Structure 1
Amino acid sequence: MTSPRPLRTDAARNRRRLLAAAADEFAERGLDASVADIARRAGVGKGTVFRHFATKDDLIAAIVLDRIDELNTAGERLLKAADPGAALLEFLTVAAHQRQQRDLSLLHAAGEPAAEVGRVRARMFHTVHTLVDRAREHGAVRADVTGADIILLMCAPNYVAGYVPDASPDLWQRYLAIIFDGLRPEGAHPLPHPPPPSP
């Protein structure tokens, strides 16, 4: 199977603009956001949307893929870092900051229309497990913390901060620091429950 040809510069620019506009619309209006509103926000016609994405489900899948790709790029870069503990903290910071920019957790309710979503997510989960393994082996996090624990904690700082009305946009940083301190081995007590299965 041949690889798809790269998009022309203007087409690639339109695609990036559409993804950003769609992410903003979905964050503000939920999954009921219309293609017409997305096109208007991106400054293009509806036809341009459908030239890039045959259905709204394809557009949703593209946003999810875009977000996971960002995390994969960051995670795979951090696998080469000299300090595994700092690398894990930086990855969690990237994940929390991405969520703070746009809360798109609602997209999970739309399902996963693209098989590619499952593939890139599995790649990200593998990266997270490797980051955690390295941090644990270097004594930077407690011995009973697993990759599955970290995957579940990735969105926690923003989830918690989301309960505070008119919260500072940087409030998530406080809860990320609390979470990461809880991962450290110093003063750790045995966890009362086994970890969940790995995704």
Structure 2
Amino acid sequence: MTSTRLPRADAARNRRLLLAAAADEFAEHGLDASVADIARRAGVGKGTVFRHFATKDDLIAAILIDRMAELSDLGEHLLDADDAEAGLREFLTAAARQRQERDLSFLAAASESSAEVAGARERMLDAIDRLVERSRAQGVVREDITGTDVFLLMCAPNYVAGYVPNASPDLWRRYLAVILDGLRPEGARPLPAAAPELT
């Protein structure tokens, strides 16, 4: 009997196409994006979508995991950089650029119960913690800044720029620069509240 399973490379390619198409559809149409439209955009049949992702929620979770893995990979790579401040700046720039290209932050609420999403988030938080620890050790980030602080600030440049009508696509860079200056120890004053805990 002939197998109907796709070669591994083709299956991986279809998965990448589906994730990219789904991200675009959700960015344009929100959670109302249909599986049929996602399949059409990816150039595959609906059956292919469900062979990879049993439910729409599974597809959403996969998008979030993929985006967080991209940042985690970068963060872990940057732990080997000699200049910790440059590494942290590169990480935060990549995070802001990812959101500028496709703001999918609204998808997080749809995957709050996903253990896989939680695991990907923990991995990313660990990478951020270590980047911040190295930056503090090198004296380029103030001592009272935590990885959680930096995690919460990741979305701030795009969030602020989003309030400006007809904003330049690069406006987020202005606010990222403000954040990076605020992380430095020079001229720092004690923060008025303790760092939050996310767990």
Query: TM-score, length-normalised on structure 1?
Result: 0.93
**Deviation sequence 1:110-138 (CA, Å, 0-9, x none):** 12353221112111111111110110111
Aligned to 1:81: 81
Matches of 1:125 and 1:166 in 2, distance apart? 33
Measured on the aligned residues, the alpha-carbon RMSD in Å equals: 1.4
Matches of 2:24 and 2:177 in 1, distance apart? 28
**Deviation sequence 1:90-121 (CA, Å, 0-9, x none):** 11111111111100011012123532211121
Aligned to 1:195: 195
**Deviation sequence 1:7-58 (CA, Å, 0-9, x none):** 6222111111110110011111111111011111111111111111110011
Aligned to 1:52: 52
Query: TM-score, length-normalised on structure 2?
Result: 0.93
Matches of 1:33 and 1:8 in 2, distance apart? 28
Segments of 5+ residues of structure 1 without an aligned counterpart are 1-5
Aligned to 1:156: 156
Task: Check conservation: 2:100, 2:158, Cα contact below 8 A.
Answer: yes
Aligned to 1:172: 172
In structure 1, give the amino acid aligned to 2:75.
G
Aligned to 2:17: 17
Task: Check conservation: 2:60, 2:111, Cα contact below 8 A.
Answer: no
- Given the alignment of the two structures, is residue 65 of structure 1 paired with residue 95 of structure 2, yes or no? no
After the TM superposition, list the runs of 4 or more consecutive aligned residues in structure 1 that deviate by more than 6 angstroms: none
In structure 1, give the amino acid aligned to 2:149.
D
Aligned to 1:184: 184
Identity among equivalent positions (%) equals: 70
Task: Check conservation: 2:111, 2:117, Cα contact below 8 A.
Answer: no
**2:122 counterpart SS class:** helix
Matches of 2:127 and 2:24 in 1, distance apart? 28
